[in-house]
């Protein structure tokens, strides 16, 4: 059974399994995409590298929060930065650089009309992060549908899982329950894993072709 307050499933400490695993996957994917950037010099690969390293560091800060017993906004901020770079990587609009401050202004403007319990800054940050990743996943899906490549579709599906995870995490901020947090993290790890396997396969394929 799940003890929501302590995050324990039949004696297993969920955070101590989820957070280190998410950290390793995120940083590994970030390093892998950076390796791709070094070969291709593609700005998209560099932005994805920054994005996934940021997401991995977000998991790391979640783990630090567990050890210290104190809440920190650093984890949420890292996730928001990661989502921003994913959105930037797949942006097809030249004016995207104006979207982040615009989303921030809009979110802060409508916030007074809602009663949100808990940390209001966390709510605002997660709301912005959610809008950014939805934008990124939508753009990535459009690009993948146009290319009609299976690898592109898998990556787009992985980013869509990140968007779903961000929504659940944002929802959990309003109706606080650690179950939502762990569910969001598990979905996020699933998305990162699918992208990591796909990118790894692509890099291996390119390395094999270059060696011929």
* Counted domains in the chain: 1
Domain range for 16 is 2-88+101-110+118-211
The pLDDT tens digits for 135-183 are 888 888 888 888 778 888 888 899 999 999 988 888 877 777 678 888 9
Taking CA atoms, 78 is separated from 39, 59, 72, 92, in Å, by 26, 9, 11, 24
In a domain, 39, yes or no: yes
d(CA 24, CA 27): 5
pLDDT at residue number 148: 79
d(CA 37, CA 182): 32
In a domain, 196, yes or no: yes
Q: What are phi and psi of 8, to 5 degrees?
A: -115, 130
List per-residue pLDDT tens for the chain, 212 residues long. Answer: 344 444 444 444 666 788 899 999 999 999 999 988 888 788 888 999 999 999 999 999 988 888 876 667 788 889 888 988 888 888 765 556 566 666 666 666 665 555 555 556 677 778 778 888 888 888 888 888 887 788 888 888 999 999 999 888 888 777 776 788 889 999 999 999 999 998 888 777 665 655 55
In a domain, 52, yes or no: yes
In a domain, 65, yes or no: yes
In a domain, 47, yes or no: yes
In a domain, 148, yes or no: yes
In a domain, 94, yes or no: no
pTM: 0.79
């Amino acid at each position: 059974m799940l003890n929501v307050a302590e995050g324990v499933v039949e004696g297993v400490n969920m955070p101590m399994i989820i957070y280190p695993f998410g950290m390793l996957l995120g940083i590994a994917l970030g390093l892998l995409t950076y390796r791709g950037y070094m070969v291709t010099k593609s700005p998209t690969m560099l932005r994805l590298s920054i994005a996934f390293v940021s997401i991995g560091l977000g998991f790391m800060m979640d783990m630090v929060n567990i050890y210290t017993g104190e809440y920190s906004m650093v984890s949420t901020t890292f996730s928001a930065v990661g989502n921003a770079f994913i959105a930037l990587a797949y942006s097809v609009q030249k004016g995207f650089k104006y979207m982040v401050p615009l989303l921030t202004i809009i979110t802060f403007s409508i916030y007074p009309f809602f009663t949100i319990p808990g940390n209001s800054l966390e709510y605002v940050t997660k709301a912005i992060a959610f809008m950014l990743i939805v934008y990124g996943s939508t753009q990535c899906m459009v690009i993948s549908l146009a290319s009609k490549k299976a690898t592109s579709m898998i990556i787009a599906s992985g980013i869509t899982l990140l968007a779903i995870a961000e929504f659940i995490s944002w929802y959990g901020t309003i109706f606080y329950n650690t179950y939502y947090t762990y569910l969001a993290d598990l979905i996020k790890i699933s998305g990162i894993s699918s992208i990591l396997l796909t990118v790894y396969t692509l890099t291996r394929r390119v390395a094999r072709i270059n060696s011929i």
